[in-house]
Copies of this chain bind each other. A is one copy, B any other.
Amino acid sequence: MNATRFPARVDIFEEGVREGFQSLPMVVPTEVKLDIIRRLSATGLKQIAAASFVRPDRVPGWADAEEVASRLEPVDGVSYSALWFNRRGLERAARHAGRLELLGSLTLSASRAFIQRNQNIGYEQALRQLDDVVAWCRELSIPVPRAAVSAAFGCNYEGPGSLSRLLEVVADLRGCARKHGLEIEYLTLADTMGWADPVQVGAYVDAVRAAWPGVRICLHLHDTRGLGLANAYAGLAAGVDLFDASLGGLGGCPFGGSVRASGNVSTEDLVYLCHRLGIATGVDLARLVAVSRHAEEVLGIPLPGRLKNVADACIGLPPAPSIAEVSAS
Contact = CB atoms under 8 A, between A and B. Distances in A.
Contacts of A227: 229, 233, 269, 272-273, 276
A272 B225 contact: yes
A56 interface: no
A277 interface: yes
Nearest to A255: B314
Nearest to A307: B225
Given A234-B233, A309-B261, A311-B257, A154 B316 contact: yes
A60 B240 CA distance: 48
Contacts of A3: 1, 3
Interface residues of A, number: 53
A312 to B, nearest CB: 9
Contact of A306 (B195, B225, B269, B307): B225
Contacts of A305: 226
Number of copies: 2
Nearest to A158: B316
Contacts of A258: 309-311
A323 interface: no
Contacts of A307: 225-226
Contacts of A145: none
A198 B233 contact: yes
Interface string A133-163: 0000000000000000000001011011000
Given A3-B3, A225-B315, 15 more contacts: A1-B3, A157-B314, A159-B316, A194-B310, A195-B316, A197-B277, A225-B310, A226-B269, A229-B229, A230-B230, A256-B310, A256-B315, A257-B314, A261-B306, A302-B302
8 contacts: A156-B316, A195-B316, A197-B276, A224-B306, A226-B273, A255-B314, A261-B310, A304-B306
